[in-house]
Structure 1
Amino acid sequence: MQRLFRLRTQAAPAALLRHFLMLLLLAAAGASAHAQSKVVGTVTHLSGVLSAKHADGKRVVLALKSSILEGDTLITEKETYTRVKFMDNAEIVLRPGSEIQVAKYLYDEQKPENDNVAINLVKGGLRAVTGLVGKRNHEAVNFNTPTATIGIRGTNFGALFCQNDCGGVPTTSGSTPQNGLHVDVSQGAVIVVNPGGQQVFQAGQFGFVANLNAPPVLIPPAQGVPVTMPPSISQNVPALTTSRTSSIDCVVQ
């Protein structure tokens, strides 16, 4: 009996050591995964509530100067506008009730051939201004939507995807935008492609894509849907925030 007791007491520290080492390995793996989620942008303007769902599924509330990680899905709540500046000086402004995923953001200053930017517009609307990647490597930047992919050509453009949720969006005609993808171009050009075909839209033009298999078509300006943003968000004025965001302390840094 004494011999058995000695064996058990000797085995206990070994089991504890194995358990401790396992915890260390798990912690190291978690730290490594977090380190791989690189910072690709920063929140520069915000009015309302903005949250991000990380690639690991964790959801956090963001504030001014919060970091955006590659793989993040950004979600704006009701009455929320936000502006994000990326590592190559590209900028995106989001409307209320919008959701985008920063699926890929690779900017290699020394090797332009490695550049790769993929933004997924899940719902809502945005305005985007081309950064260094888009200026030197057009093919490296794509905005994917449920009905088509938007390629850029040194651009300032707007995209709005409606799915029975665009009742409050202002239009030239005053009518509610129909379901589908609406595009407007302020500068440069975009090319919109899907299985139904492709179409280039130049500055001043408007486009529409009804669904994934319908070809992109030009829309007369009187029927177009410009994606407008408040001047305090879309222009280079002092960063805007509200009491709702200034009191947030669960912020990603």
Structure 2
Amino acid sequence: MKLPRCIATNALLLLALLFTGALAHAAQVAGTITHLSGPLLAKKADGSVKILSQQSTVEQGDVLFTEKDTYARIKFADNSEITLKPNSQLKIDSFVFEEGAPDKDSATFSLVKGGLRAITGLLGKRNKERVGVNTPAATIGIRGTTFLVEYVPPSQSAVAAYGFASVAAAGASSWTSDRARLTDMPFSEAPLAILPRREETPVVLAQLMPSAPPVRAPGLYVQVVDGMINLSNKGGTQSFSAGQFGFVPSFQQPPILLPVNPGIQFTPPPAFSASVGAQGRQDAGAASSAVDCEVR
């Protein structure tokens, strides 16, 4: 009779441990949505999709999607913040933070498209090498900072605009070269096709070129507000400090320093600039009414 009792006791202990472990895992929250200006979706690790609201929580493995007018700020457990821009997609690859266990620290994200602003928290200050943002063009290493990122994916419109700029530049260069070559050429030897006719009005080259679409070249754009970041890929590594802008065309090409802002914009609603204390009180009042909707 003793053997069955031992087996039953061990089985109960095992079930209790499994149940406790499941509860502990379920309780691990990476961050909370503190500000939201439009629809925000989260694809969970199990494949389900949820519509998030203010005070919703996010977990490791979640993929977040913002709509065309949506800004969303997530505050993580280590007090770091990420604010997603409209039309963005971000995956929380890993997020592990225990205040008393720095050896377990880990925070990695993948920006698939769109843009974000990131502010480093405690994890990024005590274990900088364990924090990073992956993008299709480069990996961003954090060095205790505030920075903005925008990734423009390759598309027909973007490639066409970029190609147009190259062709236009090449055409202008060729035309200028021909004019310079003809400067010292006797009038009688100049090709008839190039010589202007008296009845024709001179035409400026720019008038012959159609306007290029207002589209930036595909690639990764960064702006460092304070601190420092490091961009690395197969093409090389480059550090950027406060006040600098950078661009990476692809994962095979090295990061480059830009002299001016390439067009990075970050204009969240005014409510996103509210003080933490005031917003915290608002969030606390709204917490009870926050409901996540699961899309099946």
Common topology (TM > 0.5) = yes
Q: How far apart are residue 226 of structure 1 and its match?
A: 2.7
| Distance of aligned partners of 1:81 and 1:200 in 2 relative to their CA distance in 1, 3 Å threshold | same
Distance 2:27 2:222 in 1: 31
In structure 2, what is the equivalent of residue 92 of structure 1? 82
| Distance of aligned partners of 1:37 and 1:177 in 2 relative to their CA distance in 1, 3 Å threshold | farther
Q: How far apart are residue 234 of structure 1 and its match?
A: 4.5
In structure 2, what is the equivalent of residue 217 of structure 1? 256
Contact 2:70 2:86 in 1 (8 A): yes
Distance 2:147 2:271 in 1: 15
Contact 2:238 2:256 in 1 (8 A): yes
In structure 2, what is the equivalent of residue 115 of structure 1? 105
Contact 1:126 1:227 in 2 (8 A): no
Contact 2:37 2:269 in 1 (8 A): no
| Distance of aligned partners of 1:212 and 1:55 in 2 relative to their CA distance in 1, 3 Å threshold | same
In structure 2, what is the equivalent of residue 230 of structure 1? 268
In structure 2, what is the equivalent of residue 49 of structure 1? 39
- The more displaced of 93-102 and 174-183 is 174-183
Give the % identical residues. 43
In structure 2, what is the equivalent of residue 197 of structure 1? 236
Q: Quick check: 1:124 aligned with 2:114?
A: yes
Give the match's secondary structure for 2:99: coil
Contact 1:201 1:207 in 2 (8 A): yes
Give the match's secondary structure for 1:39: coil
Distance 2:226 2:235 in 1: 25
Which ranges in structure 2 are unaligned for 5 or more consecutive residues? Answer: 1-14, 159-212, 284-288
Q: Quick check: 1:187 aligned with 2:177?
A: no
- The more displaced of 71-80 and 37-46 is 37-46
Q: How far apart are residue 33 of structure 1 and its match?
A: 9.4
Q: Give the structure with the larger helix fraction.
A: 2
- The more displaced of 141-150 and 35-44 is 35-44
Q: Which structure is larger by alpha-carbon Rg, 1 or 2? A: 2
- The more displaced of 32-41 and 226-235 is 32-41
TM-score, normalised by the number of residues in structure 2: 0.65
Q: Give the structure with the larger strand fraction.
A: 1
Contact 2:52 2:293 in 1 (8 A): yes
TM-score, normalised by the number of residues in structure 1: 0.76
Q: Quick check: 1:80 aligned with 2:60?
A: no
| Distance of aligned partners of 1:201 and 1:60 in 2 relative to their CA distance in 1, 3 Å threshold | same
Contact 2:56 2:291 in 1 (8 A): no
State the AA in 2 paired with 1:235. Answer: S
Give the match's secondary structure for 2:68: coil
Q: How far apart are residue 89 of structure 1 and its match?
A: 0.3
- Residues 210-250 of structure 1: CA distance to partner in whole angstroms, max 9, x if unpaired? 001000000111x5233413253542446599xxxxx9844
Distance 1:154 1:213 in 2: 26
| Distance of aligned partners of 1:83 and 1:162 in 2 relative to their CA distance in 1, 3 Å threshold | same
Contact 2:56 2:292 in 1 (8 A): no
Q: How far apart are residue 107 of structure 1 and its match?
A: 1.0
Which ranges in structure 1 are unaligned for 5 or more consecutive residues? Answer: 1-24, 168-173, 242-246
Distance 1:34 1:56 in 2: 18
Give the match's secondary structure for 2:225: strand
Q: Quick check: 1:207 aligned with 2:246?
A: yes
- Residues 123-163 of structure 1: CA distance to partner in whole angstroms, max 9, x if unpaired? 10000000001111110101000111000111100110002
Contact 2:90 2:113 in 1 (8 A): yes
Distance 1:136 1:93 in 2: 22
| Distance of aligned partners of 1:157 and 1:177 in 2 relative to their CA distance in 1, 3 Å threshold | same
